Structure 1
Amino acid sequence: MSSLRLSNLTPSKWLCLAIVLFCMFGAPELVSGTGAMTDLGARIICIYIGMAFGWLTLDLAWPSVLGILAVGLSGYASVNNVLKMCFGNSSALLVFFVFIITGVIDKAGVSRWIALHICSLPIGRGRPWVMTFCILAAIMTLTLFIGVSPGVLVVWAIFYSICEVYGIKPGEHWATMVMVAIPFFGSVTASIFPFKSLPVVALGAYSQLSGGDVIDFPQYFAWSLIVDSMIVVLTLAFMRFVLRPDVSKIYNAKVYFNPEELRLTTYQKIVLLWFFLFIVMMMVPSLLPSHWELTKFFKKLGNTGCAALMCAIFFAFDFVQNESMRKTIASSVRYDALLVNFSAIGIAGVMSNDASGICQWFVDLVTPLTSGQSTVVILMLLVAMASLMTQFLNNLGSTAIYIPIAYSVAVAANINPALVCMCCIAALNIGILTPSGSNPAAMLYSNAVWAPGLRPYAYAACFLAINFAVLMLVGVPIAEFFFPSILPNSVL
């Protein structure tokens, strides 16, 4: 007869559990606010530390749920309202629907079909870094058209199949590195067009603060294209020559491609057409004239609505082969990732709320550092603070709060505010260092199979450092060239 154990927790796990519970429910009763940070803000930070510690040491699902409940008991709002705020968030719901979409694509074998075609390209055979670039080019392309979160899930599904073809197991260094690089490269290119949500917020704030001055589309696009291209090239070089993961399995691969696997079945063609329609629906608002009724319809629908509509169509026609739609959903949706996503977005929203005072406290903490500093140092501090803030708070919330502050500091220091705005946009759009930084970051760190341990955090920190260095060394001089009419003084 087997003995019954009440818990599989080891003594060290019990200690971690005690720390999580203390951070979420004990410490909030003992701390108080300081400066601009309110007592509520201090309690929220304690809860966030408990959630992050639980994610790293114990599990993904239950610290997320417990953290949501702790926020509801913190005095910010009732538990019911916090649950609505977290589970009713449109960005998190988009991830849920895209999980279903990518699950159906993967179950149909379309992901493997795409992966086989990528692996069979003559230019990529035996060339690991050409293969790596092809994978990252895919996420950059999809990000331009459908957004980072859905693009990341689609490319990850293809990436898993590529690893399967080459016999690369989850957790190997190259696999983990590319897993982190996919959302990073997607985030880098997400703001290349000024009509994306984050640039719209930033440029709108800049126009209001400057009394009507605008950053023209050609200037914005040219600067973004040059700077983002440099970030992409240098990050790839860093991966290739500094990180140097083992890529011998790709280099020495003797892969046989069955001609039958390179052909699409009728069912796969239907799924691929369905996915193509999904991409077109998400592209319509950006490509068609705004006064068209079709454009207005899809703008009202939004990305989350488009994903929900495509799921509804698939449900209605029951486009599933060999198994029921219910089984497909059950095996495709990663509920631990969703819970991390819901909780991270929820607590980031609370942290960026004026009631917590966390944002203003953060700004007040760093702003004195700019006093009496040189122009270059002030510029570096402004961009570094933007990059740091967006790792913990919602991207759009951080942008709405930070751009006016950065503008005021820039004008007071006699620095070109357009230059500061451009560099801050490029920094604020990349929140991949913590789960609360962005949807893709929450999905990344909840994937303990493909991105285990602390290694993904180390890769993310390296990529962010490259992004910052390029903005300072390349982005600033190029901005001086593109925005001469609104540069009050030379920056460097």
Structure 2
Amino acid sequence: MTQPSAVDSRHILHIVIFFLLTFGIGFLPPVGITPMGMNILGVFLGMLYGWTFIGFAWPSMICLVALGFTGYADPGKIIGSAFSSPAVLFTMFVLAFTTYCDKSGINNVMAKWCLSRRVFAGHPWIFTASVLTGTLIIGFLVDGVPAAFLIAGILYSMFHDIDMKQGDDYPAYLLAGVYMAGVLSFACKPWAGQNLMGISALSDVSGGTAVINNITLIAIAMPVCIATLLLYTLIVRFIFRPDIARLSHLTPEYLDRISSQIRIDNRQRVAATALVVFLLVMFLPNILPAGSAAANFFGKFNMVVAMVVILGVLSFLRVDGEPVFDFHDCASGINWNVIWMLAASMPVSAALSSDGAGLSRVLTDILSSFVGDGNILIFLAGFMIFINIMTQFTHNVTIVLIAVPLIWNLGQSTGINPSGFTVLMLLAAGAAYATPAASTVGALSFANGAWVGMRRAFKAGIFGCVAAIICMLCLGLPLVMVTVGL
């Protein structure tokens, strides 16, 4: 009789632990939260464990169904809401679009153009920092999700061109940094997610007396996020120390040879035009006069609508008698690990943050315990670190909405400027990418098993969060004191 291997035994043990967490936590006595909250917490912990040690697809399926038996909602409605999420729909379409860009050859053209810049000759870390800051800026101007997918697609072509392979350290940590930059791009936007909710919540709780100006938030957040990516680059260079021999030997002659190979045909021109149109449609609502007819028109084109329109137009366009875009062919690029992970994370996070779970009340009590006497700088540092850690496991909007009233009350009793304190808190909540549950874009690092891998995704994410906290305290805090006051 064949004995099971150690690998098989570990896999079976992981599966047993996954089911015990998912379905067993709910039988434990509630600890500060409701019985339904205990069931939801079990699903969340099981999902996180399954993603880390088993995989993404079937643990996500089991957890979606299990969530339907916690008392939170009907299983059918949960699965329906999971796949009707705009983030999930957009990811499916954008993965098909990026596959089309790759098949058309435009990714290869952009990769050769980027790689052939003379400034990168003999300067691989300038190249690394440029890629990360470029992703941040594109994500800020448009959106962090398409920016991460776009840059990653270009990098795949570049890795192929310089013979870097899956499993190599440098591509893994560079791609992880790209996903971090996508996350941080949201932290720079006053109109995005947790920032918008936090600014609105502070205005409401203060009766309009505490207002965070959009320009002020950008002026503080952008330098901090850029500094975070630069510090992450130094971490990769001096701590992770990947092999960069293929980048270090990029001589001017080699770069010139790459540049001379750049050729653009009609299919690539169409793909480049589609890419530019998508970026413009995403960018225009942010710069057109508010309330104008043009702004109202382009405002209807959210990410999903814009991508569907572009793919529809590409489908009927023909070059040399053939359709430009074949959805069936490009659907091969849809990574179902990513899709299932996103589909499961959103309803589980929403359930964990619901009033019926009772977690919000527990978080309020914990955050309130931070309010006390002592050195204000130590208190601020501890508060920000706690916010960042909690955001790794709980939706950042939930954390922000709980923290803002506490910050306002603390400001009234101690004299701390609630606006400056809130800006720091928003930065801490926006720099979450150390776990698969931390953020939609950051989770892509964990789902990219081929290039990044779970171990390196955790390593990059944890060190990246440490870099963010350091930059917030060393740069963000002085900027807040100069611009807003504290």
Could you tell me which residue of structure 1 aligns to residue 30 of structure 2? 33
Could you tell me which residue of structure 2 aligns to residue 346 of structure 1? 347
State the 1:258 CA deviation: 5.5
Matches within 5 A, 1:432-443: 432-443=433-444
Q: Are 1:296 and 2:293 an aligned pair?
A: no
Q: 1:428 to 1:456 in 2, by over 3 A?
A: same
Could you tell me which residue of structure 1 aligns to residue 217 of structure 2? 220
Q: Are 1:12 and 2:13 an aligned pair?
A: no
**Which amino acid is the alignment partner of residue 90 of structure 1?**
P
Contact 1:31 1:43 in 2 (8 A): no
State the 1:467 CA deviation: 0.9
State the 1:283 CA deviation: 0.9
Cα RMSD of the aligned pairs, angstroms, is 2.7
Q: 1:326 to 1:52 in 2, by over 3 A?
A: same
Could you tell me which residue of structure 1 aligns to residue 356 of structure 2? 355
Q: 1:367 to 1:397 in 2, by over 3 A?
A: closer
**Which amino acid is the alignment partner of residue 429 of structure 1?**
G
Could you tell me which residue of structure 2 aligns to residue 478 of structure 1? 479
**Which amino acid is the alignment partner of residue 184 of structure 2?**
V
State the 1:461 CA deviation: 0.8
Q: Deviations over 1:99-157 (max 9, x none)?
A: 12211111111111111111111111232112212321331221022211111111111
Could you tell me which residue of structure 1 aligns to residue 421 of structure 2? 420
Q: 1:13 to 1:49 in 2, by over 3 A?
A: same
Q: 1:127 to 1:321 in 2, by over 3 A?
A: farther
Contact 1:146 1:283 in 2 (8 A): yes
Contact 1:345 1:436 in 2 (8 A): no
Q: Are 1:235 and 2:236 an aligned pair?
A: no
Partners of 2:432 and 2:457 lie apart in 1 by: 13
Contact 2:113 2:259 in 1 (8 A): no
Q: Deviations over 1:45-99 (max 9, x none)?
A: 2112211222222221100111101101111111011112211111222212211
Could you tell me which residue of structure 1 aligns to residue 143 of structure 2? 147
State the 1:369 CA deviation: 4.0
Determine which of 50, 67, 87 is the counterpart of 1:91: 87
Could you tell me which residue of structure 1 aligns to residue 52 of structure 2? 56
Partners of 1:234 and 1:12 lie apart in 2 by: 37
Determine which of 153, 160, 184 is the counterpart of 1:164: 160
Partners of 1:271 and 1:8 lie apart in 2 by: 48
**Which amino acid is the alignment partner of residue 266 of structure 1?**
N
Contact 2:368 2:406 in 1 (8 A): no
Q: 1:338 to 1:190 in 2, by over 3 A?
A: same
Contact 2:25 2:39 in 1 (8 A): yes
Partners of 2:146 and 2:81 lie apart in 1 by: 21
Q: 1:61 to 1:369 in 2, by over 3 A?
A: same
Q: 1:218 to 1:340 in 2, by over 3 A?
A: closer
- Which secondary structure does the structure 2 equivalent of 1:59 belong to? coil
Q: Are 1:282 and 2:302 an aligned pair?
A: no
Could you tell me which residue of structure 2 aligns to residue 4 of structure 1? none
Contact 1:142 1:151 in 2 (8 A): yes
Contact 1:340 1:443 in 2 (8 A): no
Could you tell me which residue of structure 2 aligns to residue 100 of structure 1? 96
Mean Cα deviation higher: 308-317 or 345-354: 308-317
Could you tell me which residue of structure 2 aligns to residue 450 of structure 1? 451
Matches within 5 A, 1:129-278: 129-213=125-209, 214-253=211-250, 255=254, 257=257, 261-278=261-278
Mean Cα deviation higher: 216-225 or 125-134: 216-225
Q: 1:443 to 1:219 in 2, by over 3 A?
A: closer
Determine which of 69, 94, 104 is the counterpart of 1:73: 69
**Which amino acid is the alignment partner of residue 394 of structure 1?**
H
Q: 1:403 to 1:261 in 2, by over 3 A?
A: farther
State the 1:327 CA deviation: 3.6
Could you tell me which residue of structure 2 aligns to residue 490 of structure 1? none
Number of residue pairs matched?
A: 481
Could you tell me which residue of structure 2 aligns to residue 370 of structure 1? 371
Partners of 2:260 and 2:411 lie apart in 1 by: 61
Partners of 1:294 and 1:111 lie apart in 2 by: 31
Percentage identity across paired residues of the two chains: 21
Q: 1:323 to 1:297 in 2, by over 3 A?
A: closer
Partners of 1:198 and 1:317 lie apart in 2 by: 40
Could you tell me which residue of structure 1 aligns to residue 313 of structure 2? 313
Structure 2 residue ranges without an equivalent (≥5): none
| TM-score normalised by the chain length of structure 2 | 0.92
Partners of 1:134 and 1:233 lie apart in 2 by: 9
| TM-score normalised by the chain length of structure 1 | 0.91
Q: 1:90 to 1:470 in 2, by over 3 A?
A: same
